[in-house]
Structure 1
Amino acid sequence: MLEEISLENIGVITHARIPLAPGLTAITGETGAGKTMLLTGLDLLMGGKADPGRVRTGTDRAAAEGTFVIPEGSAVRERVADAGGEIDDDGALVVLRTVAAAGRSRAHLGGRTVPQSVLAEISGELVTVHGQADQLRLRSPRRQREALDAYLGADHLALLGRYRDAWTERSAVLDEAARLVAERDDRAREAELLRLGLAEIERVDPRAGEDTELDALVERLSNVEEIRLRAAEAHAALVGDDSGDSQPDAVGLVDHARRALDHAGEHDPELASLAARTAEIGYVLAEIAAELSSHLAGLEADPVALERAHERRAELTTLMRSYGSDAAEVLDWASRAGLRLLELEGGDERLVELGERRDALDALLAELADALGAARRRGAEEFAARVTAELEGLAMAGARLVVDVAAAEPGPYGADDVSISLVPHAGAPASPLGRGASGGELSRVMLAVEVVLAASPGGDTPSFVFDEIDAGIGGRAALEVGARLARLARDAQVVVVTHLAQVAAYADQHVVVTKSSAADGDVVTQSDVRTVTGDDRLAELARMLSGQDSEVARTHAAELLRSAVVG
């Protein structure tokens, strides 16, 4: 339920708070008093387009704030929580929309900033707004189908949801299959390139780190003579050579030092320790000399081995130019390429799977479409009969609603075309709502549909707002519109902006909007929005009836109030 709306700097309104009660609330006032600004504010709360032209001249921004009471167990609570908003302990949800004069707008839901689309989605679950534009929308086949589906109730809507899910999946399957077919040549080219690369790598058969090893081997074999010369020189420096030259060597000198320290160590413990460390140095030098000797024995020029190393390194270099900076990266590319090749070669298998899934979805969609069509055909006659009964009570005796359900090409909502026609009076042909109904007739048809939907299993909208529902009608028809609004208000909150006393007389709450003058032009302030009762309400009804507050008009207004009772 919508508990209240606060408006600030919207049109002629500087600031106003409009309390709304359960049942039927009528909002009245002179033409141009600003009462339709309620609809402007409500449209903002429902995620409508932010029009900077609605911001009151001379102000920086306009704001609309609404307080909704959300009952326990409502699905709206979960949606609000998903959006990050909060509902207080009393079930109150505050929705705020601001529009800057410069054009930018902001939306807040339960204290959290949200996109305009989220506001539209959630508010649309709470309030249904009807104005002249909505009467025009009732002429569209889509709206007519939606009305019939809503009448058929939750089980039917759940079936429609299953159909839509299957239709969406089928569309995704067809899109993927089309993409795979369109990309088939590209996949074939990519697969061929991968096969060539893998074949080349398999032929060369690299090992991780092999490129580094080959670099070291080539470097050694290319400089073997220089290496032999320097290694022999180092060996001679360590242990001497076979020339008989008495040049001192490192091993001999270290051994001489050790012996000297050994003798001195008999008298000095510290020198004994140094003698031991010197002996260790001698052992290390001897080991180095032995390894140098062994290495020198294996150092031989090998032009054949050098040539093979050059050839192998050239093969690896060719691979690395295409597939990686070293042998390890080449092997990693090969691993990834193998997986990608399996994926590409599985494209035809995926097409087969998609075809099978498409066939299964086609069968499911046909089954669900048959069920939807059968339900629509069964419900169409009953729906038409109930709306027709309402029309009779709305001073359209002899008028009849006709709902046709015809087979059509399958689409997102089934395989049916739903069309609603109106027989305006007995003996007249049925004409589509888009061509055969006047504005006043459309107003009453729309109201009749809402009354029927509110009483149906699918009728769960908590609040309705009607603007100009009484356009083009008067007299008895106006009284019947008021009565039907009051009946609708038994099951839902109803707010009507009206010029007709016959409609306002049925209201449980009557709000009057007036306009006063100020230095900066006509304005509506908080004091200009009044809930009227007793004599004040009689005076307002009298004004609506005759344009003045006369005794005769008051008598007529009192009579209206006495007769405005819904049995």
Structure 2
Amino acid sequence: MISELRISDLGVIAEATLDLAPGFTAVTGETGAGKTMIVSGLGLLLGQRAARGIVRRDAVGAERTARVEGRFGRLPDPVLDRVGDLGGVFDEPDDGPELVLARTVGAAGRSRAYVGGAQVPVAALSTVSEELITIHGQSGQIRLALPETQRDMLDRFGGEQLLAIRADYRASWQDWRAASAELDTLRTQARERAREVDMLRHALDEIAAVDPTPGEDEELLAETRRLQAVDDLRVGAAKAALALNGDEVDFDTSPGAAALVGVARHALESIADADAPAAALAARTREVLYQLNDLGADLAGYLAGLEADPARLEEITARRAALSALHRKYGDTTDAVLAWADASRARLDDLVGTDDRIEQLSARVEQLTSRLEGLARDLTAARTAAARHLEDAVRVELAALAMPQARLTVVLEPGERGPWGAETTEFLFAANPGSQPGPLGKVASGGELSRVRLALEVTVADSPGQTLVFDEVDSGVGGAVAVEIGRRLKRLAERSQVVVVTHLAQVAAFADRHFVVVKADDGHITTSGVREVAEADRAGELARMMAGIDTTDTALAHAEELLAVAAEPLSAGSLVPKPSSR
């Protein structure tokens, strides 16, 4: 519920504040005074696009920045959660949290939106405000002709039971659509999968036949190089052994390094007791000798193993050729080939498992189809029952609105199952018994459509505590019909906050609070403001609305009579109850 609306520099309104309350609030004013700016301001809070030229200019023609700010209380849980997600904060008076929504529009059309003080995209503002305000204006009559709007009205009128069936059906339909789409894709791609399975199996068989091991290509390359250079290796190793161990035949003239170090060791040990540095050198010499002996043993073993092996070289060459064939197809190295094989085995498992997935999906789709058929029947039955109740309820409302012969017929046309059921919804209208019912948006006149729209809105309204704004709901009507419109709006205000922009005194008389948009002209610029009509002045204001600028005694008496009628208990012409499922 909105408790305060502030508007500045919007259209002809320089500055206006409306302190709103529960119940029925009427906003009136002369033609051109700017009362529609109240609706435009609320529309901005709903995220609607700002009309060109909506920002007010001052006396010298300079444009300002328009601002609309609304304060809301009695917030539903979805709004509380959404505001927290957006980073907004609440005011915390004693009677519960309050939320401030704001929108600014600059002269160049640039717009900013705020939720609880946090700047947010306009679309985010809409997600919050749409839970709080509903505007029924001229655009509402256009939407009323849309099949989806009519279907939604019927479903909301059907109540919680119908909406629960619809929600269950829609969830099942979404599951069915997802499963069916996946199943169709898998079946369509069956041939491609078969080809890929054959290719992967052939490749893996080819790799398995060679059976490479990690790093094998590098090891074989090293062994190849060794076998190809075995003669050079033997010559080099023999020279090293001679230098290290000496010539066994002519050792005296060709001693090796180890023998010479052994001589040095004996020489140093002979003087080690006489001098500490000499002892240290002797120890180091012993260590060198040990290392030379180990090196000599290793060198001898290495030399003994250097034998030419043409058969092994031929075997390695053939093995490397087999690995190279794999490298050309599956990876630059043996390790890359093995990695490709691991990934391909996993892919093959997925492809082979697709057949199992197809069987599972087929069973799932069959199950969901059966469930959808049952839910569609239940939804059709619930809508059919709700349609008859809605027709009766609207017939009573239209009779009270001076259209006793008018009929609204709800037609449910069977069709293919879709996201919202297995039928389309269409409202047909006939103003007179002899008239052939036709589509509501085409056969109803402007005044008739206004009354039908009000009858539907009053009958279907199901948002206790929400703010309902009506603009031009009394278009094309007057007299007794206007009185009935006022009576119905007052009854609607018993469960929702109702704000009505009207030019009819018969409607305004039923309001709990009355605001007037007042226009002033200083010769340079027209400015409008808003003032609340005190209870003692209500009759005078209503008389002015009926008689014009000069209020007559007759108009005043008529106004007082209207107020008396509006004060009567709302027993006659009460709203028709909705289906018991609500």
SS at match of 1:95: strand
Corresponding residue for 1:334? 341
Moved more, 157-166 or 181-190: 181-190
Q: How high is the TM-score relative to the length of structure 2?
A: 0.90
Moved more, 401-410 or 152-161: 401-410
CA separation of 1:548/1:369 partners in 2, compared to 1, >3 Å: closer, same or farther? same
- Cα contact 1:257–1:278 (8 A) shared by 2: yes
Corresponding residue for 1:412? 419
CA separation of 1:307/1:468 partners in 2, compared to 1, >3 Å: closer, same or farther? same
Corresponding residue for 1:565? 567
Corresponding residue for 1:309? 316
- Cα contact 1:152–1:379 (8 A) shared by 2: yes
Partner Cα separation in structure 2 for residue 259 and residue 11 of structure 1: 116
Partner Cα separation in structure 2 for residue 171 and residue 51 of structure 1: 40
Amino acid corresponding to residue 564 of structure 1 in structure 2: A
The structural deviation recorded for 1:140 is: 2.3
CA separation of 1:323/1:52 partners in 2, compared to 1, >3 Å: closer, same or farther? farther
CA separation of 1:16/1:336 partners in 2, compared to 1, >3 Å: closer, same or farther? same
Corresponding residue for 1:374? 381
Matches within 5 A, 1:478-497: 478-497=482-501
Q: Could you report, residue by residue, the CA deviation over 1:270-301 in whole angstroms, capped at 9, with x for unpaired residues?
A: 43233223212211111111111101011012
Partner Cα separation in structure 2 for residue 60 and residue 299 of structure 1: 98
Moved more, 168-177 or 398-407: 398-407
Partner Cα separation in structure 1 for residue 453 and residue 551 of structure 2: 35
Structure 2 gaps of 5+ residues are 570-582
Amino acid corresponding to residue 322 of structure 1 in structure 2: K
The structural deviation recorded for 1:447 is: 1.4
CA separation of 1:15/1:270 partners in 2, compared to 1, >3 Å: closer, same or farther? farther
SS at match of 1:167: helix
Corresponding residue for 2:431? 424
Partner Cα separation in structure 2 for residue 281 and residue 566 of structure 1: 124
Corresponding residue for 1:533? 534
Matches within 5 A, 1:270-289: 270-289=277-296
Partner Cα separation in structure 2 for residue 31 and residue 324 of structure 1: 82
- Cα contact 2:464–2:495 (8 A) shared by 1: no
Corresponding residue for 2:70? 66
Corresponding residue for 1:542? 543
The structural deviation recorded for 1:232 is: 1.6
Moved more, 377-386 or 536-545: 536-545
The structural deviation recorded for 1:207 is: 0.6
Amino acid corresponding to residue 72 of structure 2 in structure 1: F
CA separation of 1:350/1:460 partners in 2, compared to 1, >3 Å: closer, same or farther? farther
Moved more, 359-368 or 213-222: 213-222
The counterpart of 2:503, out of the listed 496, 499, 505, is: 499
- Cα contact 1:46–1:123 (8 A) shared by 2: yes
Corresponding residue for 2:394? 387
Partner Cα separation in structure 1 for residue 346 and residue 420 of structure 2: 41
CA separation of 1:532/1:241 partners in 2, compared to 1, >3 Å: closer, same or farther? farther
CA separation of 1:53/1:208 partners in 2, compared to 1, >3 Å: closer, same or farther? farther
The counterpart of 1:159, out of the listed 165, 174, 179, is: 165
Matches within 5 A, 1:23-102: 23-51=23-51, 53-56=53-56, 58-59=62-63, 61-71=65-75, 74-89=77-92, 90-102=96-108
Structure 1 gaps of 5+ residues are none
Partner Cα separation in structure 2 for residue 298 and residue 519 of structure 1: 118
CA separation of 1:116/1:359 partners in 2, compared to 1, >3 Å: closer, same or farther? farther
CA separation of 1:551/1:520 partners in 2, compared to 1, >3 Å: closer, same or farther? closer
Matches within 5 A, 1:194-209: 194-209=200-215
The structural deviation recorded for 1:206 is: 0.8
Aligned: 1:323 with 2:330: yes
Matches within 5 A, 1:93-492: 93-244=99-250, 246-426=253-433, 428-454=435-461, 458-460=462-464, 462-492=466-496
- Cα contact 1:67–1:93 (8 A) shared by 2: yes
CA separation of 1:555/1:33 partners in 2, compared to 1, >3 Å: closer, same or farther? same
- Cα contact 1:28–1:513 (8 A) shared by 2: yes
Partner Cα separation in structure 2 for residue 177 and residue 15 of structure 1: 61
The structural deviation recorded for 1:24 is: 0.8
The structural deviation recorded for 1:139 is: 2.1
CA separation of 1:113/1:334 partners in 2, compared to 1, >3 Å: closer, same or farther? farther
Moved more, 22-31 or 52-61: 52-61
State the Cα RMSD in Å.
Answer: 2.4
Q: Could you report, residue by residue, the CA deviation over 1:152-189 in whole angstroms, capped at 9, with x for unpaired residues?
A: 11222121011011111222122222322333333333
- Cα contact 2:179–2:361 (8 A) shared by 1: yes
CA separation of 1:102/1:217 partners in 2, compared to 1, >3 Å: closer, same or farther? farther
Partner Cα separation in structure 1 for residue 313 and residue 242 of structure 2: 28
Partner Cα separation in structure 1 for residue 335 and residue 467 of structure 2: 69
Aligned length: 560
Partner Cα separation in structure 2 for residue 256 and residue 8 of structure 1: 112
SS at match of 1:346: helix
SS at match of 2:567: coil
Partner Cα separation in structure 2 for residue 113 and residue 314 of structure 1: 69
CA separation of 1:422/1:101 partners in 2, compared to 1, >3 Å: closer, same or farther? same
Partner Cα separation in structure 2 for residue 275 and residue 199 of structure 1: 66
Partner Cα separation in structure 2 for residue 397 and residue 251 of structure 1: 130
- Cα contact 1:187–1:344 (8 A) shared by 2: yes
- Cα contact 2:463–2:496 (8 A) shared by 1: no
- Cα contact 1:510–1:531 (8 A) shared by 2: yes
SS at match of 2:493: helix
Moved more, 251-260 or 125-134: 251-260
The structural deviation recorded for 1:39 is: 2.0
CA separation of 1:214/1:351 partners in 2, compared to 1, >3 Å: closer, same or farther? same
Q: How high is the TM-score relative to the length of structure 1?
A: 0.92
The structural deviation recorded for 1:50 is: 4.4
Q: Could you report, residue by residue, the CA deviation over 1:214-245 in whole angstroms, capped at 9, with x for unpaired residues?
A: 12111211221222222222222221133415
